[in-house]
Structure 1
């Protein structure tokens, strides 16, 4: 197990920031994804939103590893 202090910090980030940002991004993703069929320029935006939606997974993995902010 990695550094316990960083694990606690990542848990706080996950709860107070990660879930909220991912939730907002998921809502936007759901609204925008149907329009990418007609407007292909939105594909880059939806790809970015999908990465933002996966931010809680990154926080959880960093928490388990006790990884720092490097």
Structure 2
């Protein structure tokens, strides 16, 4: 991958990290806490809890992708 493309990927991931990922994680944290408690009694909530956990980990994913300068995939 060219150096210019790596720089563009870095900037894109940085912008996503700053302007989008923190909002996603802030929206996901309260439902995650509630559903993770109820998940023990209702195993059908497993896919929802997994999705909310991915939302909570989205800033980490963006920061990791930014540092690795990976493309959007």
Per the shorter chain, which TM-score range? 0.7 to 0.9
CA distance in 1, matches of 2:28, 2:9: 25
Q: Deviations over 1:4-43 (max 9, x none)?
A: 1211110110111111101111121012111112211112
* Partner in structure 1 of residue 61 of structure 2: 58
CA distance in 1, matches of 2:38, 2:12: 38
CA distance in 2, matches of 1:61, 1:35: 31
2:14 counterpart of 1:11? yes
More contact order relative to length (CA 8 Å, sep ≥ 6): 1
Structure 1 stretches of at least 4 aligned residues deviating more than 2 Å after TM superposition = none
* Paired residue total: 69
How large is the RMSD of aligned CA atoms in angstroms? 1.4
State the TM-score, normalized to the length of structure 1: 0.85
Where does the alignment leave 5 or more consecutive residues of structure 2 unmatched? none
